[in-house]
Amino acid sequence: MIYWIHIARSIDRVTLHKDRCSEVPSVHSSSDFWEGGWFDYPDKERALAAMEQAGTTQQRRCTLCKP
């Protein structure tokens, strides 16, 4: 299963989502890991590692898709 992380630098938060969550946008604007945006990973382990690397203060799991 694909997992998505959403890095929001402006609010210092990263959120984990499952694939097909309604919050995951169908069209992705350009994302830069250091600027923020949406990033997909082929498994949960890599997504969690990326959340750690994002270095934001808050790390959340989406309340809609409950990854």
CA dihedral 18, 33, 45, 23 (to 10 degrees): -10
Residue 2 CA to residue 42 CA, distance in Å, equals 5
Q: Which helix (H) or strand (E) holds 41?
A: strand 37-41
Place of tokens 């945006």: 37
> Which region, judged by CB under 5 A, interacts with Zn ion, from 6-14, 23-31, 32-40, 45-53?
23-31
Instruction: Examine residue 62 and tell whether it contacts Zn ion (CB under 5 A).
Output: yes
**Which residue's CB comes closest to Zn ion?**
62
Select the residue interacting with Zn ion from 21, 37, 44, 60 (CB under 5 A): 21
Instruction: Examine residue 17 and tell whether it contacts Zn ion (CB under 5 A).
Output: yes
Residues engaged in binding Zn ion (CB under 5 A) = 17, 21, 23, 62, 64-65
